[in-house]
Structure 1
Amino acid sequence: MARPFQLGLTASHRLLDPSMHGLEAVSDIIGHWIAGLDITRLGSLAACIGAAPAVWRFLRTAWHEVYGWVRQFFMSSVTIPGHDLLNRHVTNWVMANVVQYRNIRSFTARTQTQAGVTADRAALLKKTRRDIQYLPHFDTAWFWHEGNLFFVRRPLDSFKTLMGNSGYDGVGGEELTIGCLGRSTEPIKRLIQTCQDYADNQAQYFVIIYSRFRMSWQPKSRKPIRRLETIHFDDNTKQGLLADIRKYLDPNTKRLYISRNMPYRRGYLFYGPPGTGKSSLSTALAGEFGLDLYEVKIPSVATDQDLEQMFQEVPPKCIVLLEDIDAIWTKRGSTNNEQHESISNCTLSGLLNVLDGVGSPEGRIVIMTTNKPERLDSALVRPGRVDMKVMLGNISQRSARQMFLRMFAPDITSSPPPTLDKGSNKLNGESKHIMSDDELQQLASQFATHVPEDIFTPSQLQGFFQLHLDNPVEAVSNIAAWVERELSGISSDDEIEIIGNGHAR
């Protein structure tokens, strides 16, 4: 006879018995657990748990003592200040060659705002989307390099403080200590030189632009090197400028200056109408000679002492850019009958002192730009402060032809050469063929004949090209009408057609 299946419950599982309910079941289970508990073992466990913090504190203290003793007698170290340029170079190398290969589990996420860092330029123009930057947290990183054991330590509290600065890009800024096992600092010096070489290699295609922030120079942006061929002004003047800077940067020139007790400085004045490329030329020169660019905005400088401090902290081999120097002590738009009122907190005397005073630093190139050179004080532009004046005027027909060729020359890295429809003289027709160099040269010559000599600025002509970047034939066809409209003073805004609910077409 078959026996019904029954579930057997032991005392230790009485909680599963359907007849047990509420607090009675819980108290019954706890009672059985306490009845089988050894009080002696419970006391030993409690004593161990109580002693654990003390043991941990002892081990930490012992480790710090041993580590300090080892570091004092068996390790060497080099400390790099937080705002030194070398700090950024070392941090970049450590991030790229050490930290990114570690299993870092703690990051700070923030919206990336530095235009020079991101590769997606279009994303920066969108209001609804920005790239996210993840900054790793690390206090001390140990690593091997060239057979030596190194460590890099930074105070994490300082890193978190810098994160509150919207202009901080997450690289450098906090004090770094580089250590090496051994009593010689030579391995550390070689490592720092490696970091320097790495930084030079990374920056060879970019110009780093620095600006003043909270009493120190901080990287503002990183711009791709601009070729000097894209700056259109007199070729003889351009070659003379390049030769002058090249000669100044020659080590032999520096030795000659020192041997003859001459201050090793060089100053330039770029002047001309707005839109002729004065600032662009400064950036292109920085890229041409591998120099960093330091922007000095004198109207925002509080005192002459602050201006002097800024120049003292500028590295010896760089370009210092003073833009719109005419707007510093005179208001824009003022006439000869109006009294020129100062809009700067620092004085002309303070600027002259930092340019060539007794304590002014040497080895840097100073470039001043202005739209109105006649407003400048003669003491500011005398030889010794301004060694060469460069006029950037309106565009010539020859430069217009060069700009056309540059705009429509085939770029093997981005797009194929233009195609031409033989039958209709239009691009992108049904019967296409690759436009030859001779055809492009002919179009450039036709285009240049419609551009009047010394009337338009390069930026005006570039604005026209932006409307026809993919069609050189269309550019030639429309240039005459564009010139006529510009000469008649008709604004390009008049050409905008408003449709629908107010959107422009």
Structure 2
Amino acid sequence: MDFDMKKMIMDDLERFLQRKEFYRRVGKAWKRGYLLYGPPGTGKSSLIAAMANYLKFDVYDLELSNLLGNNDLRHILIATENKSILVVEDIDCCIELQDRLSRARAANPDFLIAGYEQQKQYHITLSGLLNFIDGLWSSCGDERIIIFTTNHKERLDPALLRPGRMDMHINMSHCTPSGFKMLASNYLGIAEHPLFVEIEKLIATAKVTPADVAEQLMRNEAPEFALSGLIEFLESKKRANDGSEAKEAEERAVQAEKKVLEISEE
């Protein structure tokens, strides 16, 4: 993660901790919501662990597919302690599954019987989730943080994303040059190296995750060998990306040509 992003998150968490009287004065629950979004392997789970360590909060990992209904969300809120982080990972998958089941019920009157065993596991609704975040029961307890993670932010209902529910949206992107430098410092104990210039150029175009880079750096404790291996990996990824983009461009050109032929035939 970039230093500026890390500092912004830490400042936001610190501000949250210091504003107990503010929340009481304005009549709001002392809680804050974070949405972590981006490709797999970009460090969403690691960031949650870092936030918990920084705040010294307990973490509750909520598996919505194991809950029988919206009432279970209410019970969770009552049962969790103050100074806690409630995490729902891959929130888009949970909502998508419920939507698919709802459409299936509408299309098939017998679905209640045929799919009962599957249905009874997935009764969490969007309305129930919204109430969980900022409804009446969300006011139970203090110093709570709610975190949703997703690989596909665009699939989420806008109602989930508004301030007061998800107050801060954090884009966990592909590895950046500054992110690489932090990883090199953590894994190799170095702040500079002659190979950094070449690596930073490749990082900008290779589209790799921090997890990819960390895996390469862990393969050798000697900086020279670790960084050389990383360069080979990045060059390979860049070639693969360039080939994929060229193939997609070719397919688009073929489709465009087909459309032109169809129009001319009409």
Tell me if both proteins adopt one fold, taking TM over 0.5 as the criterion.
yes
Alpha-carbon separation, structure 1, partners of 2:145 and 2:166: 10
Inter-CA distance 472–447: structure 2 relative to 1 (3 Å threshold): farther
Which residue of 206, 209, 219 maps to 1:467? 219
1:323 maps onto 2:89 in alignment: yes
Q: Aligned runs of 1:242-391 on 2, under 5 Å? A: 242-250=10-18, 253-331=19-97, 340-341=100-101, 344-360=122-138, 361-363=140-142, 364-391=144-171
Aligned identity (percent) is 31
8 Å CA contact retained: 1:404, 1:444: no
Q: 1:443: Cα distance to partner?
A: 4.2
Q: Aligned partners of 1:402 and 1:240: how far apart in 2?
A: 16
After TM superposition, the structure 1 = structure 2 runs for residues 52-451 of structure 1, keeping only pairs within 5 Å, are 232=1, 234-250=2-18, 253-331=19-97, 340-341=100-101, 344-360=122-138, 361-363=140-142, 364-409=144-189, 441-443=192-194, 445-446=196-197, 448-449=199-200, 451=202
Deviation at 1:247, TM superposition (A): 1.1
Higher helix proportion, which one? Answer: 2
Measured against aligned partners, the alpha-carbon deviations of 1:433-476 in whole angstroms (never above 9, x if no partner) come to xxxx7xx72246246345321611001111212322x2211123
1:19 maps to none
- Distance in 2, Cα, partners of 1:471 & 1:237: 29
Corresponding pairs, count: 219
Cα distance change on mapping 1:362 and 1:487 into 2, 3 Å: same
**Distance (Å, rounded) in 2 between the aligned partners of 1:449 and 1:369:** 28
Q: Look up the match of 2:116.
A: none
Unaligned segments of structure 1, at least 5 residues: 1-231, 332-338, 410-436, 491-505
Deviation (angstroms), 1:402:
2.5
Give the whole-Å Cα distance in 2 for the aligned partners of 1:286 and 1:353.
24
Q: CA RMSD in A?
A: 2.2
SS state of the match for residue 319, structure 1?
strand
Structure 2 contact 23–29 (Cα < 8 Å) conserved: yes
How far does residue 306 in structure 1 lie from its aligned partner after superposition? Answer: 1.4
On the 8 A contact 2:33/2:166 being kept in 1, the answer is yes
Q: State the TM-score, normalizing by the size of structure 2.
A: 0.75
SS in 2 for 1:328: helix
The CA distance in 2 between the partners of 1:449 and 1:265, in whole Å, is: 38
Q: Secondary structure at the match of 1:302?
A: coil
Alpha-carbon distance in 1 for matches of 2:61, 2:7: 25
The equivalent position to 1:482 in structure 2, one of 230, 233, 241, is 233
Residue 106 of structure 2 corresponds to: none
- Per-residue CA shift, 1:296-343, capped at 9, x if unaligned? 111111111112101111112111111111110215xxxxxxx84468
1:120-147 deviations in Å (ceiling 9; x for gaps): xxxxxxxxxxxxxxxxxxxxxxxxxxxx
**Which protein, 1 or 2, shows the higher relative CO under an 8 Å CA cutoff with sep ≥ 6?**
2
**Displacement of 1:487 after TM fit?**
2.9
Distance across 1 between alignment mates of 2:136 and 2:192: 55
Query: Cα distance, 1:378 vs. partner?
Result: 1.0
Check whether the contact 1:447–1:479 (CA below 8 A) recurs between aligned residues.
Answer: no
Cα distance per residue 1:252-301 (max 9 Å; x no partner)? x1112112222222111111111100111001110011111111111111
Deviations for 1:56-83, whole angstroms, at most 9, x for unmatched residues? xxxxxxxxxxxxxxxxxxxxxxxxxxxx
Flag the structure with larger Rg. 1
User: What's the counterpart of residue 122 of structure 1?
Assistant: none
Report the AA paired with residue 463 of structure 1.
E
The C-alpha deviation readout for 1:464-505, integer Å capped at 9, x for no partner, is 12322x221112333332222223449xxxxxxxxxxxxxxx
User: Counterparts of 2:101 and 2:194 in 1: how far apart (Å)?
Assistant: 51
**Rounded Cα–Cα distance in structure 2 between residues aligned with 1:402 and 1:354:** 36
Amino acid in the other structure paired with 1:289: L
Say if 1:450 and 1:483, in contact at 8 Å, map to a contact too: no
More strand by share: 1
